[in-house]
Structure 1
Amino acid sequence: MDRILSRIKFAYSYIINSIGFYPTLISLFFFGLALLMLFLESHGLSKQFQDDLPFMIITDEATARLILSSITTGIISLTVFSFTMVMLVLNQASANFTPRVIPGLISHKSNQRVLGLYLGTLIYTLVIMVNIHAEYYSIPLPGFSIFLSMCFTILCLSFFVYFIHSISQSIQIESILEGIYHVTTQRLNKEIKNDKGHLVPNVFTTHKDWYPVLSPETGYLQSLDQERILEICCEYDVVLYFDHPLGNFVVQGVPFARVNKSLEDIEGFVKKLFSHTDFFREERPSVNYLFGFKHITESAVKALSPGINDPGTAIKAIDYLTALFSLRMNLTDDKILYDEKGAARIRFEHESFGELYNLSLGPIRLYGKGSSVIVLRLLYLLQSLLYKVQAYPHLKQVLYQETNLLMHDADKEIHNPGDRQKINQQVLAINNMHVLDRAIPLLKAEL
């Protein structure tokens, strides 16, 4: 039963991120509405409205069929055109930014609702159209239902204008970056809320000597049902250490985790463990905040490529990374899960702040080291983080080392005396803060 519940959770997470989630729900609603309207029509709904509001009721069969046929043809064309636009937007986003942002664009609820309205109106109209002059009705035409179909069509046309505006906004890099930033921030805040502090329980100090657990599957281990896995660890009375962070690629037959004692039924333990884990290829920041950093970094690197050459986008990406790193400082480098009795049961190998800093800013530094604008923005990122680093003194060395790498590359790539002077002025402003233990070296003056 627990396995079924876990699968339902994972399936729900997959379904709600699918482009067909809202269209399916809305289509089912319109199908049910059509059946309800036909039931009410059989009880004299149109006749009642015809006496009070005759202009709302269509009584001519030829006119009714013409209207419904026109609506059906028009909505089909509108739906095909809208879906084509979505595919073109996704293709452009993949080419200009990074393919990893596509799941986020697909999961935009507003676009899904518009497409759902199109499909729902089409289904409603078809159901009404095939029931004109049906034998089991005592009225000549479902006139009021046809009037509702016309109203839904007008609503579709109105939402089509909104859809054009929405799709043109969603493809802009500012909207994409902002969306990734907000989702990553929400996930980071959740991780910070569940963080138990800096101390690592002594039980994990000898994890390298523990017994390896071999992976029965190959793929990207993205998420797991933490509550159920904690119950499994309590059932077998073991402590579990994951050798790789969630989101990494695991290979069948290769160790992916370790337990603190030998288990006779290790196959049963692994089978139960993997019945509460989820494998999928998409990199969703809502599941793992590391993917949010990765997507923003890739967008910046793509913008700095010679084919795109858009330093403005790279600067925006660096600004969002500045805010995310400022928030990431509040999270410890170790992720530990505790059971109901407060005992540490699971520890994940986790990217440290320094590793994440290098993984995110290293590619930007590599592709932007010849641009004084990018170097100055990266120095501004450092300056912003220094205002918060006093509460996290262990991060000072990380910031100093990464800034040294930036200055080393800038010293080799930037030769304009004016640009070097601007960079040195920024570095002097950072050194005058007297936060780092050592001063950042200045660029040598060009002769």
Structure 2
Amino acid sequence: MLALIKRIYTSISFITVLIALGYGLVAILLVLFPIHFLDDFPRIAITDPDSIKFILSFTIGGIFTLTVFSYTMVMNVLNRSISNYSPRLIPLILHERHHQVILGASSGTIVYSLIMSVQVASDNSEKLSSFAAPLAILMVVICVFLFIYFIHSVSQSIHVNYVVHRSYKNTKQSIETLLKLKDGLNSSKEDKKEWVDSIAFETCGYLNYVRINKLIALSEKHKIDFKLEKQMGSFLQINEKVLSASSKLNDDLRNKVKRCLSVDRSEPMDVVEIGFKHLVEVAIKASSPAINDPGTSLIAVDYLVQLFILRKQIPNFNNYTSPNGGRLFFEMIPEETLKSYVFKEMENYMNNDPVLTEKLQLSKAILQ
């Protein structure tokens, strides 16, 4: 359930559909409860049915054209991202809220105009609000300005600095989330015999999201220790144990614990190690003969170094213990191991480029 809710909330269609429904609701309210406050301003009040039909038909045609053009531009950006960077960076571009707002405003304007067109074509067109057509014109003006901003945003999205920085920023936020728990992160001996119950899922996928604070709250309330058997971002097999508990879990508590975990088909974007992986993929792909863009590789390496500096602030740990006694055992890939994976992977593909080889050596020296 948590995975489904998160998938809906992070979907590109979530905000878009909400805005479109809002525009449709405004149209329905104007049909049911027409307002005529513009009757006192005859210069801007539009009550002639033929004029309203023309405005609404023009609005539908014009906004539909803008929407199609916007869709074409987005597809071009996605195609460029797949070709030059990494297909796994696509969710970072698609999930940008301002793109969803722009698409929602365009779709909502079409929905509004279609509903009002039905009212104009009906026998009750004389009851149509004098505010309906001017509102449609206002929506078109807003869409035009949003479209101008959209062009600016898309032109920014195709720049390598923007794409790589988005990946860096997303990973940085994940690291900072763990740093907020720094005071409770510690290493303590674990009694392997104390785990008497476990949680598994009847589906396979990636361990996408763990609500650490919620699990700690359950641990405090029920005096139970939890242990995450798989690292966040790992792939889970069907019925594979993902979480252990120090006491037996009743059905109600078991369901609450399951709601704290998310197993999804999509690769997790909020896991620290996944962010490093994406930047490594960008650096390697840019250095390949097909792309031949060592400048992008240098940029990706610079951001990786900065992320390692931030990652170094997280101490080695195997559990988080809250001030009230709640405890969750979980681990990350150790910093040195992660560093070894990252640089060995890049060195394997960049060893023929003297500039990139020197850059990797300098970066490793900085992180010593």
Calculate the TM-score normalised by the size of structure 2: 0.88
State the Cα distance separating 1:39 from its structure 2 match.
5.7
Corresponding residue for residue 77 of structure 1? 65
Change beyond 3 A, Cα 1:314–1:208: farther
User: Residue 266 of structure 2: which of 282, 291, 298 is its match?
Assistant: 282
Identify the residue that residue 384 of structure 1 maps to in structure 2: 366
Letter in 2 for 1:183: N
**Structure-1 residue corresponding to 2:200:** 215
Distance 1:159 1:211, change over 3 A: same
| Counterpart residue number, 2:296 | 313
Structure of higher RCO (CA pairs closer than 8 Å, 6+ residues apart) = 2
- Where does the alignment leave 5 or more consecutive residues of structure 1 unmatched? 1-6, 386-398, 400-447
Corresponding letter in the other structure for 2:164: L
In structure 2, relative to structure 1, the CA distance for the partners of 1:317 and 1:249 (3 Å cut) is: same
* SS of 1:278 mapped into structure 2: strand
The aligned amino acid for 2:305 is T
Shift of residue 123, structure 1, vs aligned partner: 1.4
> Which one-letter code corresponds to 1:144 in the other structure?
F
Note the C-alpha offset of 1:243.
2.9
Specify whether residues 335 and 282 from structure 1 end up closer, same or farther in structure 2 by C-alpha distance, changes over 3 A only.
Answer: farther
Q: 2:36–2:131: 8 Å Cα contact kept in structure 1?
A: no
8 Å Cα contact 2:186-2:320 kept in structure 1: no
1:351 equivalent among 333, 337, 340: 333
- Work out whether 1:296 is the aligned partner of 2:279: yes
- In structure 2, the residue matched to 1:103 is 91
1:9-45 deviations in Å (ceiling 9; x for gaps): 65553333211122122212222332444466x3432
Q: 1:364 to 1:208 in 2, by over 3 A?
A: farther
Whole-Å separation in 2 of the counterparts to 1:133 and 1:257: 61
Cα distance change on mapping 1:254 and 1:29 into 2, 3 Å: closer
**Is residue 104–residue 284 contact of structure 1 (8 Å, CA) maintained in 2?**
no
Q: Describe the SS at the equivalent of 1:241.
A: strand
Larger Rg: 1
Q: Distance in 2 between matches of 1:319 and 1:370?
A: 19
Q: Does residue 1:169 correspond to 2:156, yes or no?
A: yes
Cα pair distance change 1:85/1:301, threshold 3 Å = same
Q: Deviations over 1:377-424 (max 9, x none)?
A: 123323433xxxxxxxxxxxxx4xxxxxxxxxxxxxxxxxxxxxxxxx
Q: Does 1:19 align with 2:12?
A: yes
Q: Which amino acid aligns with 1:173?
A: V
| Cα deviation digits, residues 47-86 of structure 1 (max 9, x gap) | 2221xxx1x2334332321221121122122212212322
Amino acid corresponding to residue 274 of structure 1 in structure 2: K
- Cα distance in 2 for partners of 1:212, 1:36 equals 54
Report sequence identity in percent. Answer: 29
Distance 1:37 1:220, change over 3 A: same
Matches within 5 A, 1:424-443: none
Q: Which structure 2 residues correspond to residues 17-416 of structure 1 after superposition, within 5 A?
A: 17-38=10-31, 42-50=34-42, 54=43, 56-132=44-120, 134-136=122-124, 139=127, 142-196=129-183, 199-202=186-189, 204=190, 206-207=191-192, 213=198, 215-217=200-202, 218-230=204-216, 232-233=218-219, 237-260=223-246, 263=248, 273-285=257-269, 287-339=270-322, 341-343=324-326, 345-385=327-367, 399=368
Q: Which runs of 5+ in 2 are unaligned?
A: none
Residues 253/174 of structure 1: CA separation in 2 closer, same or farther (3 Å cut): same
Distance 2:366 2:186 in 1: 27
Letter of the 2:183 counterpart: K
